[in-house]
Amino acid sequence: MRRNVAGLIVVFVGAAVLQLAISDTYLRYVKPGMRWMLLIAGAVLIVLAVADVLADTKKDGHDHSELADDGHGHNGLPRAAWLLLVPVFALLVVDPPALGADAAQRQSPVAAKPMAAKGKMWLPNQEETSGAPVVLPLRDYAVWAVWEKDNMKGRTFQLTGFVTPGKNGVWYVSRIGMTCCVADGTAFMVEVRGQQAPPKNQWVQVTGQWAEPTKREDGDVAAIDGTTVRNVQPPANQYE
């Protein structure tokens, strides 16, 4: 009986993983490319748990003494084992928010130097855009605006992210970038000039021209001279 209950717990864990992968909730934890891994992991957990329970029920000569409560929990299963179901049910019921301004404020807005420069190939020619704003991932703008100045000057860009308040009236449009999972999330922040700050964590679309980065003791911070700031709905995948 104890083994059957343990198998049931594993089935619940596998079901929770599948539920995360099937819905968009998994995007709060890992990159989109890892969806198929979660699907496989959840299916494997369920199959192995069911196979183990079926194999156990076919055994002859069960030790019926296990059915007696030994003081550790129901039918001999340690009570602590049932606590494993708490985070499982929480995953199924609670839709956790993505990291936002509070996480960004704990990090520096200084743009780290990229591993290698790729120059103009990162941006379309101005003739190709016909003067329209260049839509860039915010993490790209946050880096290139500092380290690729010659290619960014005189260009108009469109950035989408959440509002992160700074000090002395400064505010940033921000995104959290992930390498693998939310545990390694890095904040990318761009200072918005010339526009009043919307509420904290509000998702906005900022259009404006490249601006000279802000100098700080620990490095330079990307900036944009905002011409328009429009409130938008958060995307399904709030990370970059």
Which residue has better confidence, 55 or 108? 108
How far is the C-alpha of 92 from the C-alpha of 89, rounded, in Å? 5
Identify the weakest region by mean pLDDT among 30-39, 181-190, 206-215.
Answer: 30-39
The residue type found at 5 is V
Q: Identify any residues that bridge with 174 across adjacent strands, giving them in sequence order.
A: 162, 189
Per-residue model confidence as pLDDT tens digits over 77-135: 566 666 666 766 666 666 677 889 999 999 999 988 876 654 444 676 665 666 789 99
pLDDT of residue 8: 74
pLDDT of residue 74: 47
Sign of the dihedral defined by the CA atoms of residues 107, 198, 239, 14, in that order: positive
Q: What is the mean pLDDT of residues 5-24?
A: 78
Identify the weakest region by mean pLDDT among 74-78, 148-152, 162-166, 223-227.
Answer: 74-78
Among residues 186, 175, 110, which one has the least CA distance to residue 145? 110
Domains and CATH numbers, the chain: 2-93 (no CATH), 101-231 (2.40.50.140)
pLDDT of residue 183: 77
pLDDT band at 18 (very low <50, low <70, confident <90, very high): confident
How far is the C-alpha of 2 from the C-alpha of 145, rounded, in Å? 60
For the chain, the first-to-last Cα distance in angstroms comes to: 46
Q: pTM value? A: 0.72
pLDDT of residue 81: 60
Other beta carbons within 10 Å of 44: 12
Per-residue model confidence as pLDDT tens digits over 166-190: 999 999 999 999 887 777 789 999 9
Q: In the predicted model, is pLDDT for residue 6 greater than 90?
A: no
